[in-house]
Structure 1
Amino acid sequence: MRNFFVTVLCLMGGFSAFAQDDLLAEIDTTATKGYDTPAFKGLQIVTLQSTKTPAAKEAYFVVSHRFGTVKDGISEFFGLDMATTKIGGVYGFTDWLSVSASRHTLLKVYEAAVKYRLANQGDDFPLTVIGYNTVDVNTFLEKDDYPNIEFNDRLTYITQFLVSRKVSEKLSLEVVPMYIHKNLYNPDIENDNQVSLGAGGRYKIGKRLSLNMEYIYNFDKPGYYQNPLSVGLDIETGGHVFQLLFTNSQAMTEGGYITTAAGDWGNGDFFFGFNLYRVF
């Protein structure tokens, strides 16, 4: 695993509201000043946030699904009977600052986030650096079952720094150091504070297709959970970006998919899903 991150780090070292065609052309246009076009087409690589941000006054409607585990076979229609859903929106206040909000059926979690650009790749700087902060509110916990629970107990905070490099017109890479704090947690299987390091990439295999992959290493991972591993396919269709994916983590909130991946790829225990973005 150490070699995996070393390799990625080494490689990294060395609006469109007017027409749908603008969205399609955005990442296909060769920049005249280094690779200062976005390294990623979607706002996520697969589950990890990418360094792409909305343009000023640009809005995204987001729908995501994660189905049940594939390993249950035809009895659960390979997981399609056990769908979870995320519905949300993202709005760009400026070219460098956006906010988002979403609701997730799994554990009835509400999530709010802010995403802000700190640096942009170009001739003057080799990397794009983005800050990303989220807060999750777990509304699944009932007062009748937990009479002493307070609102603060429902909160999870996540801080991430997204660092990417567009290596070539086809290849983009990203690393993501992150910190997660849970106010309510199970001390038998996890810690209240967790540190993780993610890495992912995008490789264009066609004019409108790319193959994406990501992995997250949790330094404080309990034995019960797995490190998240996800693969996906980006499909660009007019004003939509459609991502088909397989992952071993069913949750879609930042605090959920990073720290509670229970699926084991080796045992066929993984989840099919998709992310759909519609830009306005």
Structure 2
Amino acid sequence: MLSPTTYRLLGLLGLLCCAHSGLAQDALLQELERQNPDSTRRAPVTATFKGTRIINGHSVETPGGGTLIFLISHRFGTLNSGAYNFFGLDQATIRLGLEYGFTDRLAVGIGRSSLEKTFDGFVKYRALRQSTGLGAVPVSVTLLGATALTSLRYANEGFEHTFPRRLTYTWQALVARKFTPGLSVQVSPTVVHRNLVDTEEDENDVYALGFAGRQKLTKRLALTLEYYYRLPNSRATGLRDALAVGIDIETGGHVFQLHVTNSRGMIEPFFVPRTSGDFFKGDIYFGFNVARNFTLKPQL
């Protein structure tokens, strides 16, 4: 049973949260009204996140129609690997990817990771877009379906690594809201299905809930945070939740992202169910993402 003092504290916290939410909404509305004086017309909220990736995971953003994104993702080794490995700089994992927007809502992408020689592809559809004005939509919702194929050569383990056994699948619903011109938050319910797992104790289906945020520090600098919590029935022994902290730097035609994370992999089948590093014991991978946009089909 909670004490009366506890109830009063919880009530005060609720009032403060409501007040902050109201102030944040007012600030965002004022900013958008300044850009679009006609408040009766629906106005889409832009740049919830600056890129299609937050750190490891996807954001609600998609490339504009006719836009091609070339994405380079790079992770060095762990900082606690010692001076012999130059604190991780001697070890590296890389992913090269292409993303193309058929429309402002529909995008596809492909990629190749050096980790386990993995190919991946995805389809991304922007179902809802946050807006203000008449008939305002409070959040943006983007749906993601992805698959990955490892082409790694395996030693004879008593059975054949057939094509279907090499496949994994990911489904996500990315739900985000831009509370102010500087603050954006995203929640990402995630399911990863693996046709083949390492041990009998591992689950083929892994369920996780991703949390991410972006806070602008200056006009071209932003702080990002990303965390994927694996649900209780998906917490295999010896593995950990993926955690990452980063800085976004906007430099004209591309976005440069610097970050540290406890996950070596850069696609969902790696960082959601297979992160083993302890972030707070120095199992930290330093890395970066570089995204360059190319307009292949001018928008009318």
Pairwise same-fold verdict (TM > 0.5):
yes
Q: Which moved more, 1:170-179 or 1:74-83?
A: 74-83
Q: Give the aligned partner of residue 105 of structure 1.
A: 114
Segments of structure 2 that go 5 or more residues without pairing to the other structure are 1-13, 23-30, 37-41, 295-300
Indicate if the aligned counterparts of 2:57 and 2:267 stay in contact, CA closer than 8 A. no
Letter in 2 for 1:115: K
Task: Confirm or deny that 1:173 pairs with 2:182.
Answer: no
Structure 2 counterparts to residues 1-280 of structure 1, below 5 A: 32=36, 36-123=45-132, 124-142=136-154, 147-219=159-231, 220-280=234-294
Distance change >3 Å, CA 31–CA 110, structure 1 → 2: farther
The DSSP-based 3-state class of the residue aligned with 2:131 is: coil
Kindly, what percent of the aligned residue pairs are identical?
39
Q: Give the aligned partner of residue 23 of structure 1.
A: none
Q: Which has the larger radius of gyration?
A: 2
Q: Give the aligned partner of residue 25 of structure 1.
A: none
- Poorly superposed stretches of 4+, deviation over 6 Å: 10-14
Give the deviation of 1:275 after TM superposition. 0.5
Q: C-alpha distance in 1, partners of 2:263/2:257?
A: 16
Letter in 1 for 2:192: I
| RMSD across aligned positions (CA) | 2.1
Give the deviation of 1:37 after TM superposition. 0.8
Letter in 2 for 1:239: G
Indicate if the aligned counterparts of 1:38 and 1:51 stay in contact, CA closer than 8 A. no
Indicate if the aligned counterparts of 2:192 and 2:205 stay in contact, CA closer than 8 A. yes
Q: C-alpha distance in 1, partners of 2:201/2:112?
A: 26
Q: C-alpha distance in 1, partners of 2:241/2:154?
A: 29
TM-score (norm 1): 0.87
Q: Which moved more, 1:217-226 or 1:107-116?
A: 217-226
Equivalent residues, number: 259
The DSSP-based 3-state class of the residue aligned with 1:256 is: helix
Segments of structure 1 that go 5 or more residues without pairing to the other structure are 1-6, 15-27
Q: C-alpha distance in 1, partners of 2:146/2:158?
A: 25
Q: C-alpha distance in 2, partners of 1:207/1:34?
A: 22
Q: C-alpha distance in 1, partners of 2:107/2:120?
A: 14
